[in-house]
Amino acid sequence: MKNNREQYSNLINAIQNNNNVVALSLVTPVTAAYIDKKTKNTALIFACQKSMESVAMKLINTGVSNPNEINNDGETALILACKKKLSNVAIQLILTGQSLPEFIDNNENTALTIACTNNMENVALALIATNKSNPDWVDNNGNTALIIACQNQMNNVALALIATGESSPEVQDNNGFPALMYACAHKMKMVTLALIATGKSRPELVSGVKSKQFLNSILNEYRMTGFIAGTIKANAELSAENYSDMYSYLSEETQNAGKGTTRKETTTKGTTRKGTTRKGTTRKGTTRKGTTKKGTTKKQRVK
């Protein structure tokens, strides 16, 4: 056991010193599986913290890197991969089926809200496809993944979120605007149609001359062409369907990740929401703004 600890420590030192070559040489099933008893950190968590993609990928590929581990800072490897915009690592973690996409960190973020904030479209879509990503979660800034996706003009992500039926289109941000306001501001036609079809999008809250004009044109089209909720929902699902078989595709896409091939992501800051609570969400058994949600807890790992 002492030897295992020493091997792990050598790997962590290499990671902390950003010595990629040495770190890669020290990745073994033993060092990948080791969990520090005091901090609950793993080599995979450290590699994600230091944005060492090739090391993280090699650790995941050992099959014993404990992607479901939560350290004492309330972080998982998936949360960190999304924060550091390591798209290939995040996708590979999701593919393990053990990365806890439903996990809520100490800052009230999920991997999905972080992926949307960082404009990581493929990661967000992969998370939605797990059916465990808490699409209705409202973060500390008051945003849902849907609001952030509309703010960042992520059409496919927004449509996929709407298709889940759990994206809470009625939630308003700090300025009192729902996702529909941002969809109209950015002229996201199909997203706007899909939001209207939910019957929860609060069109009366859309403001601004151009946004209102766009909304009115969409509403007229909605009425004149006989669009019905089922048709709009089908369009949303069609967009999501493009990614329904994404696991094999994304697995293939990440084959070159260890060679340093990464997708450039754009960071966009989200906005905040004030005074609007989402019914039913708890974290570690503590009610959030006086409301509770059954079955959603901060730590959902079973060993």
Instruction: Determine phi and psi for 224, rounding to 5 degrees.
Output: -70, -35
Residue 257's pLDDT is 42
For residue 234, give both structure tokens: 């089908």
> What's the confidence (pLDDT) of residue 226?
52
Residues 102, 296 contacting (CB under 8 angstroms): yes
Q: 286 - beta bridge partners?
A: 283
Whether 273 and 174 have beta carbons less than 8 Å apart is answered as: yes
This prediction has a pTM of 0.77
Question: Distance between CA atoms of 111 and 31, rounded to whole angstroms?
Answer: 25
Q: What is the mean pLDDT of residues 154-167?
A: 95
For residues 103-119, give the mean pLDDT: 96
User: In this predicted model, what pLDDT tens digit does every residue of 195-223 receive, in sequence order?
Assistant: 988 889 999 999 999 999 999 998 887 76
Least confident of 95-104, 148-157, 165-174: 165-174
Which pLDDT does position 173 carry in this prediction? Answer: 87
Residues 6+ apart with CB under 8 A from 198: 162, 169, 229
- C-alpha–C-alpha distance, residues 187 and 158, integer Å: 13
- Out of 80-84, 215-219, 258-262, least confident range: 258-262
The pLDDT value recorded for residue 286 is 33
Alpha carbons 161 and 155: distance in angstroms, whole number:
10
Give yes or no for residue 43 having a pLDDT over 90: yes
> pLDDT at residue 253 above 90?
no
Residue written as token pair 């091997």: 7
Task: Indicate whether 230 pLDDT > 60.
Answer: no
Query: What digits encode the pLDDT tens for the residues 121-156?
Result: 999 999 999 999 999 999 888 899 999 999 999 999
What are 282's strand-pairing partners? 287
Burial class (CB in 10 A: 0-12, 13-18, 19+), 211: buried
